[in-house]
Structure 1
């Protein structure tokens, strides 16, 4: 399998998308991608959460007690086909929002959607 460097550039996002593609994930299907922003104060997290809700974003907010430091995390759920340009654009937007509310953009992730092509003839019946 040959890598298309326009579709999967040589950076962290390109590497993740390339690995998803190599693993058989169908990148033409929409995925729920989770972007995270971390905060050191609950007040800033609350203000940012309200801003994101006003921007009509689907979010969750929780206190991460397992972190090395006490922090609050907002997860933003975006349903889209995982393409490099869209992910980079959203990262830039969420990085700016994080900065506006004294938070730190903390990356993205999603569940893989891998489908096996199984013919009816391949299914064993008893």
Structure 2
């Protein structure tokens, strides 16, 4: 698969190289950051009222000292769809003094066996 030579393209290429099936829906986390807690909370409330289909989580990121709104959207991670979602979320965040700060996926998702622990042997304490 060929991807554009930008951050989104590089991320998708790395995912493909890791064996992640980019033709299946994945939970894609988009990160929105805000300096002010009230702005972040207002954005979260407004986004919850919107037609956005996804889950949200707001917390203070101690490492950077900013409020981080994680918007998880189940989607096929196609380049153009990622770019369009980022632009839409960035425009939205800007209305509340925030901005997008990238996206990512959890490395192990349903149907993704690339990251399974081959060395693991189930025992009495196993919760599988």
| Contiguous gaps of at least 5 residues in structure 1 | 117-126
Separation (CA, whole Å) in 2 of partners of 1:46 and 1:102: 12
2:63 aligns with: 66
Per-residue deviation at 1:54? 0.8
Match of 2:67, SS?
strand
TM-score (norm 2): 0.79
Per-residue deviation at 1:110? 0.3
User: Which one has the largest radius of gyration?
Assistant: 1
1:23 aligns with: 18
1:112 aligns with: 107
Match of 2:19, SS?
coil
Separation (CA, whole Å) in 2 of partners of 1:64 and 1:17: 25
TM-score (norm 1): 0.80
Count of aligned pairs: 109
Per-residue deviation at 1:115? 3.0
Superposed CA RMSD in Å reads: 1.4
Written as runs of structure 1 = structure 2, the 5 A alignment for 1:1-126 is 3-4=1-2, 8-55=3-50, 56=52, 57-67=54-64, 70-113=65-108, 114-115=112-113
